[in-house]
Chains A and B, each alone.
Chain A
């Protein structure tokens, strides 16, 4: 599997997501100066035979930390910024300004997610102001604000199965599950003794959630039995886990990326859960996503969990020496 690289000078990638409509299209939220200061850029990229091409780039006055494609319109995306704003962007327009800007959060928006369950078209944002907000797709005004976390929120992710339900990961060490109809926290799991930087839902089992934390471990939780994780914590990363993602192709496979420059693939149902470690980079890896490429000629059955040939996307963020140097953000496919 060849690795394709996209470099954006002086921008450091924070998040990446594949378009739900166009299999070769990617969006990347990137920030200047490692996201510590300066502006941000939303990059719309296209994977081609030869590499990765830039389709459009949108500038924002603060760093951008997360991006989410619309589930109903192939050109629309939402991004979360360091100034507490959420912006709605149109990748097909010639305008440099976003369609809409919502400024309700009072601190950095670190997570934005568009709901995927049918009949629902909502956004959820998670912020360092310790609240999560639910929005309609026009971002006119938040529909609900959910409070309860006692630390910054790093990640808010809609359940792919249960309507009106999302999970959040926080610096207070808890994984919380929220119900937006009652605007309340249904479950709070003290999942780690350190900050939890990422969480994700299993695409096959509606009760399974994975968390990745600063203590370098990845834990899988069954919400019906939240007192302890489903299995031994997945260890192997040598620095904080930056993002976790469940595979869309397999029930028990997930990916994690970490400040230790690597991306790891795990099968938590196996006695030897670590499947693969990818160490292409000499930089922090901040974002990872699975995208599918349907190619009828290439359906491989060699790997039992792989139904469609998949590629994975990493993002680099350089932060090893602090605010130094003109480090390129590279996207590798």
Chain B
């Protein structure tokens, strides 16, 4: 690699002399991974708007059986509708879901048929808690890399209106004897308090982060930034008098542009009497769905399909269950290392705002520039439909990179209940 040494010698010896150009060149430990026909690429991604669980426009689904499947179906349809060629058959569809029994395996198969996929295409579901949507993407990528499929659809869906977080299943009573096992049943809000206390993330910092999330989401909404990625969903709503009407859901419902620091400061701690985590600086309980079409680059190009993004790294790491929120602080470096990149190389970070405490901790620990973190808002403003989130963030990220109009890199990351973190590195190849 003599040439690499010579050229990096040109770049690292002298700091910029009064120049104001931002160049992400220094210390790039470039790997030999270059673009090739075996790359896993994202062709296309869409999502529904995110509705407020139980009170929002998607709550009407609670009266309809298999309503999740309709939501999923709507999303599944959109990539299909937008493909101009009609003979595209995916080889596999994967849905990430958390709360449905059995992660919604039957629901997903039904949704598949409602989306007019042929019976020959198999489906399955995956549950890795909050990362399920991203895990669906990882599983599709893995199947592509292992050669068992060429094209796959990765989805994430959740209706928190329909299902409660209440039932964790049949847990062994012996868990009380093992500290880490006990920690798995600690409520998420308490893990947030643990992170805030252990790392000194003040109430003010958390509230300020929450305000920023709402402001960024509001700006994004008003400037139409989500229009390209949101698929309208038509649903029927019953109002207080019992009259039914049809509405089209186009906008994320959770965004509150009127959020202020003072307003948030008045909220009571939600999980612990003397705590700092409130409803205002936590993610919202929501309904939503998202989907991405992935394929092996050679297969995608043979079909004449565009490349929206390239999956460059995927990492899942384990962290203490009682502080699960620190997950991204460990997953992101693992993914960056795999991709041969550093923080400075990344243009946009989509980090799930499960709680402001953990999001702030991760941003500070990794030294992420705040203007590159969740530029269009995060789960505090937009909502966190559990199984959908990972896929939703990937869709939002790729569209944001596309808007930049030049080659760029992005990271999607989230913490995972029971103590894990997941992260993916995507590349937008340029227009």
Q: Which residues of A contact B (CB under 8 A)?
A: 10, 33-37, 82, 108, 128, 152, 171, 194-195, 197, 214-217, 235-240, 259-262, 282, 318-328
CB of B31 within 8 Å of the partner chain? yes
A37 / chain B contacts, CB cutoff of 8 Å: 3, 32
B31 / chain A contacts, CB cutoff of 8 Å: 322-324
B20 / chain A contacts, CB cutoff of 8 Å: 238
A323 / chain B contacts, CB cutoff of 8 Å: 30-34
Determine, out of B21-29, B87-95, B133-141, the stretch whose residues face the partner at the interface. B21-29
Do residues B21 and A240 form an inter-chain contact, with CB atoms below 8 A? no
Tell me how far the C-beta of A281 lies from the nearest C-beta in chain B, rounded to whole angstroms: 9
> Of residues 406 to 431 in B, which have CB atoms within 8 Å of A's CB atoms?
406-407, 409, 427, 429-430
- CB contact under 8 A between A321 and B28, given known A235-B17, A261-B21: yes
Do residues B4 and A36 form an inter-chain contact, with CB atoms below 8 A? yes
Q: Which of B18, B21, B24, B310 has the most CB of A within 10 A?
A: B21
Tell me how far the C-beta of B335 lies from the nearest C-beta in chain A, rounded to whole angstroms: 14
Given contacts A171-B6, A214-B9, A320-B345, 20 further A-B contacts (CB under 8 A): A36-B4, A152-B6, A216-B19, A238-B19, A238-B20, A238-B21, A239-B10, A239-B11, A260-B23, A320-B24, A320-B25, A321-B30, A322-B31, A324-B30, A324-B31, A324-B33, A324-B340, A324-B341, A324-B427, A325-B35
CB of B171 within 8 Å of the partner chain? no
Do residues A240 and B10 form an inter-chain contact, with CB atoms below 8 A? yes
Q: Which of B1, B20, B31, B430 has the most CB of A within 10 A?
A: B430
Complex Cα distance, B368 from A120, in Å, reads 59
Q: Specify the chain B residue showing the minimal Cβ separation from A65.
A: B3
Q: Which of A216, A260, A325 has the most CB of B within 10 A?
A: A325
Complex Cα distance, B346 from A72, in Å, reads 49
Do residues B10 and A321 form an inter-chain contact, with CB atoms below 8 A? no
Complex Cα distance, B9 from A237, in Å, reads 17
Tell me how far the C-beta of B8 lies from the nearest C-beta in chain A, rounded to whole angstroms: 9
Q: Specify the chain B residue showing the minimal Cβ separation from A107.
A: B2
Complex Cα distance, B407 from A173, in Å, reads 34
A152 / chain B contacts, CB cutoff of 8 Å: 6
Q: Specify the chain A residue showing the minimal Cβ separation from B297.
A: A326
Do residues A325 and B23 form an inter-chain contact, with CB atoms below 8 A? no
Do residues A321 and B24 form an inter-chain contact, with CB atoms below 8 A? yes
Complex Cα distance, B19 from A217, in Å, reads 12
Do residues A319 and B7 form an inter-chain contact, with CB atoms below 8 A? yes
Complex Cα distance, B20 from A87, in Å, reads 40
Do residues A321 and B11 form an inter-chain contact, with CB atoms below 8 A? no
Do residues A260 and B19 form an inter-chain contact, with CB atoms below 8 A? yes
Do residues B13 and A239 form an inter-chain contact, with CB atoms below 8 A? no
Which secondary structure dominates chain A's binding surface?
loop
Do residues B34 and A259 form an inter-chain contact, with CB atoms below 8 A? no
Q: Specify the chain A residue showing the minimal Cβ separation from B310.
A: A325
Complex Cα distance, B21 from A319, in Å, reads 15
Do residues B14 and A259 form an inter-chain contact, with CB atoms below 8 A? no
- CB contact under 8 A between A319 and B14, given known A152-B6, A239-B19: no
Complex Cα distance, B29 from A326, in Å, reads 18
Partner of B17, one of A82, A216, A261: A216
A33 / chain B contacts, CB cutoff of 8 Å: 34
Tell me how far the C-beta of A294 lies from the nearest C-beta in chain B, rounded to whole angstroms: 35
Complex Cα distance, B25 from A322, in Å, reads 8
Tell me how far the C-beta of A127 lies from the nearest C-beta in chain B, rounded to whole angstroms: 12
Complex Cα distance, B345 from A82, in Å, reads 28
Q: Specify the chain B residue showing the minimal Cβ separation from A34.
A: B7
Complex Cα distance, B6 from A320, in Å, reads 15
- CB contact under 8 A between A195 and B9, given known A33-B34, A261-B21: yes
- CB contact under 8 A between A325 and B6, given known A237-B19, A238-B19: no
Tell me how far the C-beta of B429 lies from the nearest C-beta in chain A, rounded to whole angstroms: 6
Do residues B23 and A259 form an inter-chain contact, with CB atoms below 8 A? yes
Do residues B407 and A259 form an inter-chain contact, with CB atoms below 8 A? no
Tell me how far the C-beta of A31 lies from the nearest C-beta in chain B, rounded to whole angstroms: 10
CB of B187 within 8 Å of the partner chain? no
Q: Specify the chain B residue showing the minimal Cβ separation from A82.
A: B3
Complex Cα distance, B23 from A259, in Å, reads 9
B14 / chain A contacts, CB cutoff of 8 Å: 194, 214-216, 239-240
Q: Specify the chain B residue showing the minimal Cβ separation from A239.
A: B23
Complex Cα distance, B340 from A171, in Å, reads 28
CB of B101 within 8 Å of the partner chain? no
Do residues B23 and A327 form an inter-chain contact, with CB atoms below 8 A? no
B24 / chain A contacts, CB cutoff of 8 Å: 320-321
- CB contact under 8 A between A262 and B21, given known A216-B14, A318-B407, A325-B35: yes
Complex Cα distance, B28 from A318, in Å, reads 13
A36 / chain B contacts, CB cutoff of 8 Å: 1, 3-4, 7
Complex Cα distance, B7 from A259, in Å, reads 10
CB of B118 within 8 Å of the partner chain? no
CB of B16 within 8 Å of the partner chain? yes
Do residues B10 and A325 form an inter-chain contact, with CB atoms below 8 A? no
Q: Which of A10, A237, A239 has the most CB of B within 10 A?
A: A239
Q: List 16 A-B contacts (CB under 8 A).
A: A35-B7, A37-B32, A214-B10, A215-B17, A236-B18, A238-B16, A239-B25, A240-B11, A262-B21, A319-B25, A320-B25, A321-B28, A322-B29, A324-B33, A326-B34, A326-B429
Do residues B19 and A108 form an inter-chain contact, with CB atoms below 8 A? no
Complex Cα distance, B429 from A57, in Å, reads 24
A282 / chain B contacts, CB cutoff of 8 Å: 406-407
A108 / chain B contacts, CB cutoff of 8 Å: 3
Complex Cα distance, B430 from A56, in Å, reads 26
Q: Specify the chain A residue showing the minimal Cβ separation from B35.
A: A326
Complex Cα distance, B52 from A18, in Å, reads 62
Complex Cα distance, B11 from A214, in Å, reads 8
B310 / chain A contacts, CB cutoff of 8 Å: 325
